[in-house]
């Protein structure tokens, strides 16, 4: 998510159940210094644990990892575990963190199925990465609808690319995620 994302995340993350059977990764377009307070605020009002991603974090079920502002978040396999790697390589398409980089890094992870959620924001970040991810993994893509988006750019781009499985109003996204995560 991008423009309108912090408010959208406050409508989604607090509705997730603490026994969520998956980790969650969030790329919110924010500069360095702002994502820690966002993560702390969301952690205070949520059942799930929410934290700003740190180098070397091992992904755990029921934990939401927010990409550190000013850093790209990538995932790597470390044996049977998936580990977060942060880097400050140049912005991609003017963005750091960039969702495309995060999605592309999921291609080689030990997960059979991945749920992608694209929320409010300008431009098309996420579309290239999800297209690449679809070549390697079974994915299910949820896009926020136009009416509930502050800016219907990123969800519109992914929809127009033909990659969306469901278009959902913001107030229904958490339930949609939980329904899909619970299905094994």
Tens of pLDDT, residue by residue, the chain (184 residues): 999 999 999 999 999 999 999 999 999 999 999 999 999 999 999 999 999 999 999 999 999 999 999 999 999 999 999 999 999 999 999 999 999 999 999 999 999 899 999 999 999 999 999 999 999 999 999 999 999 999 999 999 999 999 999 999 999 999 999 999 974 4
Residue with tokens 């390697």: 136
Active site residue 89: no
Q: Which of 29, 57, 82, 145 is catalytic?
A: 29
Nearest to 107 by CA among 138, 137, 76, 78: 137
Active site residue 2: yes
Active site residue 124: no
Q: Which of 71, 105, 125, 148 is catalytic?
A: 125
In terms of C-beta density within 10 A (0-12 exposed, 13-18 middle, 19 or more buried), how is residue 27 classed? buried
């Amino acid at each position: 998510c991008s423009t309108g994302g912090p408010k959208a995340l406050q409508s989604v993350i607090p509705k997730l159940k603490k026994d969520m059977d998956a980790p969650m990764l969030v790329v919110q377009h924010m500069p360095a210094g702002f994502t820690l307070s966002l993560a702390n605020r969301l952690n205070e009002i949520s059942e799930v644990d929410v934290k700003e991603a740190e180098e070397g974090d091992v992904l755990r079920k029921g934990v939401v990892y927010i990409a550190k502002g000013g850093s790209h978040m990538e995932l790597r396999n470390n044996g049977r575990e998936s580990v977060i790697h942060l880097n400050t390589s140049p912005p991609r398409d003017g963005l750091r963190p960039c969702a495309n980089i995060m999605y592309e890094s999921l291609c080689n992870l030990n997960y059979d199925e991945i749920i992608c959620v694209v929320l409010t924001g300008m431009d098309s970040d996420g579309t290239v990465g999800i297209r690449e991810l679809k070549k390697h993994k079974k994915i299910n893509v949820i896009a926020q609808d136009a009416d509930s988006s502050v800016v219907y750019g990123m969800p519109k781009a992914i929809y127009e690319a033909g990659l969306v499985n469901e278009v959902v109003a913001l107030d229904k996204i958490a339930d949609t995620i939980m329904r899909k995560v619970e299905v094994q």
